[in-house]
Amino acid sequence: MSNDRNSLNNEERRVIIDKGTEHPFTGQYTDFIEGGVYLCKQCNAPLYTSQHKFQSSCGWPSFDDEIDGAVKREMDSDGQRTEILCAHCDGHLGHVFEGEMLTDKNLRHCVNSVSLKFMSSDELKKEDQTIQSAYFAGGCFWGVEHLMNQQDGVVSVASGYMGGETENPSYEQVCSKTTGHLEVVEVSYYPEQVSFETLTKLFFEIHDPTQSDGQGPDIGSQYLSAIFYQTDEEKQVSEKLIEILEGNGLKIATQLLPLSTFWKAEDYHQDYYQKNGQQPYCHQYERRF
């Protein structure tokens, strides 16, 4: 991604250069939910990922974390608030607040939408070859997606289907157990921030890899546990971790399967728990390594 300065319109200059504030509940990204990265509107530097964003109902986009080194802080001239700026170009983003107890991180970056430019995961992959993807099946994709999204270094997680015969299957077709597909998540991540091995360890710790007929109360072939590997290295890493778990007395049911076509699921499945304000019903973290 280029870090050249972009031309700004009058409203963008008022906010980014002159440190203004857009009117509440008017910004493009206030209630926006999609997997990807938020860039600086002025210089294209990555600032926040979609898993940092949360709904605060404050009237502006809110984030409870930032990409390491992307945002700098300065005290306002009146000494009352802490301004946040793009660390690359000094463009004004908004202000940061602590102590509101809105998320576990107890932090809120209150950012003007006009200071941001969003890029989806697919757009990022076209521009930034450092982003890689990993593919995991661990029961209902809603829960796996939700918990994988919380890992630092993950750009986005998409729910979908893999491993079957039917092209571009629907949810209803997959649930009929006639297509051979599993519910799978596509985890897009920065390999310099998180490794495939770390993601695979997390995968084994957020579902029950010993269950052979589904996951929790979700029984059926579409809910089986599997890792779809892309390279010999990914397969070897997965085999090593399974060996460790079985050495600790677990009988692992997770299949290792070669990568096949990933079909993205319907829009209503994406970011399901975030959209509905719920928590996973059959996935939870259990330390195994």
CB 177: neighbour CB atoms within 10 A? 12
**Contact call for residues 77 and 39 (beta carbons, < 8 A):** no
The answer to whether residue 175 is catalytic is no
Q: What is the rounded end-to-end Cα distance, in angstroms, of the chain?
A: 36
State which amino acid sits at residue 287. Answer: R
Q: Of 196, 43, 223, nearest to 137 (Cα)?
A: 223
Backbone angles phi, psi at 86, to 5 degrees: -65, 125
Q: Of these residues, 89, 140, 175, 282, which one is catalytic?
A: 140
Q: Of these residues, 40, 43, 86, 110, which one is catalytic?
A: 110
Provide the residue count of the chain: 289
Q: Three-state SS for 97?
A: strand
Q: How far is CA 100 from CA 23, 31, 86, 103, 268, in A?
A: 22, 19, 23, 8, 30
The answer to whether residue 86 is catalytic is no
Strands 53-54 and 92-98: unpaired
**Contact call for residues 67 and 51 (beta carbons, < 8 A):** no
Backbone angles phi, psi at 197, to 5 degrees: -65, -40
- CA 21 to CA 87: how far, in whole Å? 19
- Which residues are CB-contacts of 176 (< 8 A; sequence separation ≥ 6)? none
State the catalytic residues: 110, 140
